[in-house]
Amino acid sequence: MQTIFNMECQECKRRNYTSTKNKSKHSERVELAKYCKHCRRHTKHKEVKA
Ligand SMILES: [Zn+2]
Q: CATH no. for residue 35?
A: 2.20.28.120
Over residues 15-20, mean pLDDT: 94
| Cβ pair 18, 41 in contact under 8 A | no
pTM above 0.75, yes or no: yes
Question: What distance in angstroms lies between residue 16's CA and the mean position of ligand 1's atoms?
Answer: 8
Residue 14 domain boundaries: 2-49
Residue-level pLDDT at 29: 82
Question: What distance in angstroms lies between residue 47's CA and the mean position of ligand 1's atoms?
Answer: 14
Give the pLDDT band of residue 46 (cuts 50, 70, 90).
Answer: very high
Residue-level pLDDT at 27: 74
Domains: count for the chain = 1
pLDDT at 30 over 90: no
pLDDT at 26 over 80: no
Question: What distance in angstroms lies between residue 18's CA and the mean position of ligand 1's atoms?
Answer: 15
Vertex 2: Cα angle to 30 and 14 (nearest 5): 45
